[in-house]
Structure 1
């Protein structure tokens, strides 16, 4: 199916991070875009400001009349998160409208453009955002569908110069969560990591590796795969596709970083790929893991004719993605960093980088576990990675799509955490606890609703910083 003959697109669940990026793209392409979501949000307010119509009432009256009258020229994009008893969803099904899941529609987009897909358990959003930024900054025609809000563009959709369709690049995050990446049509792909995750979906580690293997075999036979070297080892040769495959990493023999220097607020490194060297690059989204993400982005940029100087300039101007190693306060010996990390390896990467940047300061971490099943499956790994901190504060588990599992709670992580100080605190009591604790370097971690606490914590840390200057 193509989008030929489609004039209107209606989104059921338009406020989701992935859905809203698609809505923005259709709106930019000239389609009449509208949709429904359960509750208002700042992101939805932005969509309305961009000219889209959004309703918060799941009723037939709020479906635009133009859509009701023209099912043959309307596309309905829906998310499985919609309630089964949704009035609007039932109406569209009964009336024979064309309904597509977000992943199906994204797959249709990638079928029509040269697609660079970024997959992996960790690092997808930062890597895809950086690729898109380098392309846009160099004047390349780009459309990037992202799983986070970029700081440079304050959007989850990045658009560059628009030339002919054959010249246009599309960058997408290839999400393994529900195997939705199997609907994509990548010309090139990046695989950042293959650690076990989403075991509630895949069952075991071998099955998720099979999933990544199936995905990379979708790469066009003339395309390329850029794969982190540890991920390649875990995947194994049998799962790799028969395309040109380039390995990268901090200690890779292929594409690698040398002369890495951790500074408060940035990382310096040299990009090395065989005889090609781009020296003295500076990345202002700190972290060893982000240097590794940058290697993949640089490798792809050079493949498409972006010059060394354009790469240097683009890298230095990249401000990162909200909630991906986002530094809110960094002065007068007080630091506050917020990160989306919700897997043991992500936590380890984040905290190792913080320690390298601020080696003499006390590190306090607030962690909100995400999902009962993930907490249960990786309990030992969580405790081990959190032990890198001097003090660990655990919030209750954020359940997301799950019901509670008997015997699974944040408390089960506490015993094996080796930090000098560790405790359980409710969200309501967190600010009071922090005021007594007086942290020097504070990091908040998690993929749940801990982000709602970030503005208040940042304001408090800023006020402490101002007091230190008096």
Structure 2
């Protein structure tokens, strides 16, 4: 398909974080962009401000007339839409050009020098750091991000078209549409078992992805993963390794050993060893691309983070409120490690909204173990996303497996009251569902009180 011949691009599920980055890209390239989403959000508001026509009721009559022209309209969809979506069925029945989000990314990036970030955790933060480093090095790039990067207040970094940075998403094997020049794999923990069935199939798909790298390309892998590549790790014997870690004024200061040299006294401001690992692999890929050490050091120090990735909402001497997208037990463990390292001895309240019935079912014991590490836990009902309820799979079931003394299941309507009743000085909201919509209410209420 020649994207240059397309005039209109219609998105089914335009409010998704990955979909909206593509929508911004097509707007920047002069296309007429429109779409449907289930509910209004900050993301859809920002797209409307760019001139994108968006509606929230699934009905063919709501599709703009220009996008009903089959000759020059491309329809992009997300696998998260329900099987019985009326508009999507209309486009299928009438033989429109329809592509998945991942296929579009494959098309856009195939003629660029592509840097791809794969892994079950860390993709968004790593690709955001990498995009920022390359931007600071004045590389002519387009970066498609799975989160809102604080430095740009966007999920798209546009500085040219010769180089692309993308998240290589393992969900429904999307990353097999990419052919990167440089790629990394940050982690391969079991996830998306509703798609893969078991962990061995997930590992196989990562091995298939590793074979997608272009001739003379390079693959970086976190030390210990069962795939061959250039290794990276923290305080170990990897090809790229973080050494001599110190915490100064809430920031990491450290050295990086590369195959050729040692970079001294780098600074990075995001807490948590997982973020230090993300910063390391972004640095390694940017070095292999050809960026200068001095520019990379400045870029690392100036990276502000990604919204909903250990994002400080309130930070005072007597009260801290952090919001994080963590929705897998390993991600919750990473959040716990970070908060304990930054605030030793402080009482921590975690508010968690499980994401997907299938994920809760598959990892219930691991979730219980991760959540039990916090001093106090408030548990919300499971956010279903694309799924129907499963018998017996509930937040009450998860709660019963947790060993905390101080735990309870609550409704979102009681959230502010329950936080107020707690004597914790560190409060976390965790989860990938609509818990993100509660952040502003919590921030507004407790900013006034602290």
2:345 is the alignment partner of 1:360:
yes
2:194 is the alignment partner of 1:218:
no
Distance 1:270 1:199 in 2: 38
Aligned residue for 2:243?
258
> How big is each residue's C-alpha offset from its partner over 1:347-367, in whole Å with a ceiling of 9 and x where there is no partner?
111111110111121122111
Which of the residues 153, 176, 181 maps onto 2:170? 176
Aligned residue for 1:55?
55
Aligned residue for 1:132?
131
Q: Is this contact kept in 2: 1:264–1:357, CA < 8 A?
A: no
Q: Is this contact kept in 2: 1:289–1:349, CA < 8 A?
A: yes
Equivalence map 1:129-168=2 (5 Å) = 129-160=128-159, 162=160, 168=162
Which of the residues 324, 331, 337 maps onto 1:346? 331
Which 5+ residue runs of structure 2 have no aligned equivalent?
none
Compared CA separation, residues 221 and 54, structure 1 to 2 (3 A): same
2:202 is the alignment partner of 1:202:
no
Instruction: Between 258-267 and 343-352, report the one with greater CA deviation.
Output: 258-267
Aligned residue for 1:468?
none
Paired positions, count: 449
Q: Is this contact kept in 1: 2:81–2:386, CA < 8 A?
A: no
Aligned residue for 2:421?
436
> How big is each residue's C-alpha offset from its partner over 1:293-346, in whole Å with a ceiling of 9 and x where there is no partner?
000000011112222221111111111111001111222131111111111111
Which of the residues 283, 305, 308 maps onto 1:298? 283
Q: Which SS does the other structure have where 1:178 is aligned? A: helix
2:126 is the alignment partner of 1:99:
no
Q: Is this contact kept in 2: 1:282–1:315, CA < 8 A?
A: yes
Q: Which SS does the other structure have where 1:147 is aligned? A: strand
What's the RMSD between the two structures over aligned residues? 1.9
Distance 2:80 2:288 in 1: 38
Q: Is this contact kept in 1: 2:349–2:376, CA < 8 A?
A: yes
Compared CA separation, residues 367 and 56, structure 1 to 2 (3 A): closer
Name the TM-score, length of structure 1 as normaliser.
Answer: 0.91
2:430 is the alignment partner of 1:445:
yes
Aligned residue for 1:412?
397
Q: Is this contact kept in 1: 2:365–2:401, CA < 8 A?
A: yes
Compared CA separation, residues 369 and 85, structure 1 to 2 (3 A): closer
Q: Is this contact kept in 2: 1:263–1:357, CA < 8 A?
A: no
Instruction: Between 337-346 and 406-415, report the one with greater CA deviation.
Output: 406-415
Distance 2:394 2:89 in 1: 37
Q: Is this contact kept in 1: 2:82–2:386, CA < 8 A?
A: no
Distance 1:86 1:339 in 2: 31
2:312 is the alignment partner of 1:335:
no
Q: Which SS does the other structure have where 2:22 is aligned? A: helix
Compared CA separation, residues 328 and 265, structure 1 to 2 (3 A): farther
Distance 1:55 1:425 in 2: 32
Distance 2:367 2:247 in 1: 25
Distance 2:421 2:413 in 1: 15
Aligned residue for 1:40?
40
Equivalence map 1:61-80=2 (5 Å) = 61-69=61-69, 71-80=70-79
Distance 1:332 1:184 in 2: 46
Instruction: Between 110-119 and 77-86, report the one with greater CA deviation.
Output: 77-86
Aligned residue for 2:364?
379
Name the TM-score, length of structure 2 as normaliser.
Answer: 0.94
Compared CA separation, residues 403 and 59, structure 1 to 2 (3 A): closer
Compared CA separation, residues 424 and 83, structure 1 to 2 (3 A): closer
Distance 1:186 1:93 in 2: 30
Which of the residues 212, 226, 230 maps onto 1:246? 230
> How big is each residue's C-alpha offset from its partner over 1:93-129, in whole Å with a ceiling of 9 and x where there is no partner?
3433211111111111121211111111100000001
Distance 1:276 1:416 in 2: 49
Instruction: Between 263-272 and 28-37, report the one with greater CA deviation.
Output: 263-272
1:84 CA displacement? 4.7
> How big is each residue's C-alpha offset from its partner over 1:25-50, in whole Å with a ceiling of 9 and x where there is no partner?
11111222222333322211211211
Distance 2:170 2:274 in 1: 20
1:205 CA displacement? 1.1
Instruction: Between 219-228 and 450-459, report the one with greater CA deviation.
Output: 450-459
Distance 1:367 1:344 in 2: 11
Q: Which SS does the other structure have where 2:373 is aligned? A: coil
2:184 is the alignment partner of 1:185:
no
Q: Is this contact kept in 2: 1:264–1:358, CA < 8 A?
A: no
Aligned residue for 2:18?
18
Aligned residue for 2:300?
315
Q: Which SS does the other structure have where 1:455 is aligned? A: helix
